[in-house]
Each structure stands twice: as structure tokens, then as C-alpha cells.
Structure 1
Amino acid sequence: MAKFYPNLTPELIQFIEEQKIFFTATAPMEGRINLSPKGIDTFRCLDEQTVGYLDLTGSGNETSAHLEENGRMTIMFCSFSDKPLILRLYGNGRVIRPRDEAWDNFSGYFSSFHGQRQIILLTINSAQTSCGFGVPIYEYQETRETLIEWAEKKGEAGIYDYWEQKNQKSIDGLPTKLIVDN
């Protein structure tokens, strides 16, 4: 039932563009595995080998810390409609922060949001589809605006303070390099 691809096909890109939620998974060499659901219109297919998403400020910054340590990442999409399918993208991730030279090259692919923190890029080593027959059917209702409203209320200075307090290290103590590169 599972099928592997060396890169994204037009059909896989179309499937990705139809999804309202995706999941990211990273892990340090030692420590906790991080699995995060993501929503809002932040994901883009840049070409058949590269995808990325605009990462918004959240309670932690595990993905950034793990990618800084080892680069390993999986992104999963799962159909909740009547046509079942699971798509996993395996590859090497990298973090692009607003202070990085590459920011201007990639930020134009994304809508701007209050609280945008970094761009996560994934260079795909392989993609895998599987059936998804055991995944229930759910109906999308709407995008939750709570995170965006929270960031708007905090303002730029409040977001920076939040980064300093909550987003500098992973829960296992790894540096995220969000504000400085050390």
C-alpha cells in the first residue's frame, strides 16, 4: 500500500494544497521527540524538492532547536475527507530567521502575520504515501484566529520579549538561535 517518491509530483502538490492542517516531527539526538500540528495558510511547495512553512510564535521552539542540532525532519499531511491518503515528506530541514540573508529570498512566498518567527524549509529526500484507511472523516469548519489575535495584542516588542523568555531553548535545553547565533 505504501509508495515512495524521490520528489513531489503534481498530484502530491495538489493534495498538499488542499489540506488545512499538517504535522511536523523532529527529534534531537537525545531527548524528546517533537510532533506539532500546524494550520493557518503558512505552507508552500516551492518546487518538487523543496517545501517550507512560515513558523509563527508559539509556546516552544523545538523544531528550530532540533534542526540546528541535526536537520532531520518529517512533515505529514493526512486527508480527513472521503478520499483517504497520508503523505509523509522526509528530509533535511533548515531555519531561516528574519535576520538571515536568505529571508528576503523566501519571505515573499508567504503571507505576512503578526508573530511570524522564522521560515522552516525542508529539502525532500523522499516522499511516501500510504492508505489512511483508518483515519476518520472530519469536516473543516474554519481557521482558528486565536494565535494571530494573541500576536497582534502582544505587538512587536511583546513578541520579542516572549521570544527572550520562552523561545531561546528547547525543553531539553538545546539552543534555538532565534535571537542570536550562539
Structure 2
Amino acid sequence: MGKQYKALTGKDIDFIKQQKLFYIASCSGQEVNLSPKGYDSIRVLDKSTLLYLDFPGSGSRTYRDAMAGGEFTLVFNAFTGPPMILRVFCKAEALEKDDTRFEGYLSHFGIDGSYIRQLFVFDVYAVESSCGMSVPHMKYEKERNSLKKWAKNLAEDGSLQNYIDDHKVPPSLQDLDTIDETLS
């Protein structure tokens, strides 16, 4: 059944490259964040380093948790072929566009970075594989390109950076009473 070890194996790396969907879970003392991620947005740099291409969205809890030194778990699971779940435990470093390393890391994706929010470098300290026998078989149809189009449009009209800056640190769900009062 399950195994635990310190770094990705060749089999793990091949498995990650095949996945169309994965999840990032993070926490830094506030609510636990769990986000599904698609697109061709993950790269394995070596057995202990993953690189994630982050598109702008409604919140940025991943960024908040990385800046606070929080814990991260990336989860990959098979929807086709033999069952498997792969959990990658790591720390994250956020790389913003003004970081001198940004362009070098972005080159791993071969895309224009004008509509990207940031990159994350994940430093792996443990890996766990498990059976995944309860995960259903599912068929991949296609990507949803609406997020990319939206981000590209904001980049083209010059408003993307303002959007990113305005959504850099999301409100804590622990402050819902305060949030609800401002909405009233």
C-alpha cells in the first residue's frame, strides 16, 4: 500500500508529468488552503524541487502561506490507468516578476510571462505514495481557457499588475464578522 520517502523517484516524476490536474494544500496558521490546479503549470526540476506557474485568480492564499513559511502538500492522483495517489510535502518560495531568477525559471514553461502572477519553487522534504483505489476513473476532455484569456486581456490593457497587487493577501476567513459588516 503506502510508502514514505525523502525525494521523488523516477516513477514519481513520470507520474507527475502525466497528470492534467493536481492540488496544492497550504497553511500558515490561518485557514487551510486547498486549490485544484490545471494547465501545463508544474515542472519537476529535480528529485527535490518542483516549479509551479501561478496564474492570477480571486485570491492568493498560496502566496500568503509561502511568505509566512507555511507548509505545503501537492497531491497528484491517477484518474486513468493504475490507481495511485502521490503526496509531495514541501516548503515554498514565491518568485515575483521582479526577481532576477523569474525569467530563468519561466523558461521551463516556454510561454510569455506577461499574464502570470508569480512562480513558486517547492523544496520537497518528503514524499508519500498510496494506493488510490477509491479514486474514480475519469476522462480528460479539454482545458478551460477562460482564465488565461482573462489574464492576457488584463495584461494587454495594463491593469494586471494592479489586480495582482490588490489581491496579494486575501482576507482571513477568521475575520468573517468584520468582512460581513463591510458588505452590509
Fold shared by both chains (TM-score > 0.5)? yes
* Equivalent in the alignment of 1:76: 75
Q: Which amino acid in structure 2 is aligned with residue 4 of structure 1?
A: Q
* Secondary structure of the corresponding residue to residue 16 of structure 1: helix
Q: CA contact under 8 A between 1:71 and 1:94: conserved in structure 2?
A: no
| Structure 1 gap ranges (5+) | 174-182
Q: CA contact under 8 A between 1:62 and 1:171: conserved in structure 2?
A: no
* Equivalent in the alignment of 1:158: 159
* Secondary structure of the corresponding residue to residue 51 of structure 2: strand
Is residue 2:147 matched to residue 1:147? yes
Count of residues in correspondence between the two structures:
171
* Equivalent in the alignment of 1:86: 85
Aligned counterparts of 1:70 and 1:44: Cα–Cα separation in 2: 21
* Secondary structure of the corresponding residue to residue 94 of structure 2: strand
Instruction: Return the offset for 1:153.
Output: 2.1
* Equivalent in the alignment of 1:53: 52
| Structure 2 gap ranges (5+) | 174-184
Report the aligned-residue RMSD.
Answer: 1.5
* Equivalent in the alignment of 2:133: 133
Q: Which amino acid in structure 2 is aligned with residue 77 of structure 1?
A: F
* Equivalent in the alignment of 1:36: 35
Q: Please, what TM-score do these two structures have when normalized by structure 1?
A: 0.88
The structure whose residues are more often helix, as a share, is: 2
Aligned counterparts of 1:140 and 1:132: Cα–Cα separation in 2: 18
Aligned counterparts of 1:172 and 1:41: Cα–Cα separation in 2: 29
Q: CA contact under 8 A between 1:76 and 1:87: conserved in structure 2?
A: yes
Instruction: Return the offset for 1:151.
Output: 1.3
Q: Please, what TM-score do these two structures have when normalized by structure 2?
A: 0.88
| Sequence identity percentage | 32
* Equivalent in the alignment of 1:106: 105
Q: Which amino acid in structure 1 is aligned with residue 55 of structure 2?
A: L
Aligned counterparts of 2:69 and 2:163: Cα–Cα separation in 1: 25
Q: CA contact under 8 A between 1:26 and 1:33: conserved in structure 2?
A: yes
Instruction: Return the offset for 1:22.
Output: 0.8
Instruction: Return the offset for 1:93.
Output: 0.9
What is the CA deviation profile of residues 97-140 of structure 1, one whole-angstrom value per residue up to 9, with x for unaligned ones?
11012213312112325520111111110110001111111000
* Equivalent in the alignment of 1:176: none
Q: CA contact under 8 A between 1:42 and 1:111: conserved in structure 2?
A: no
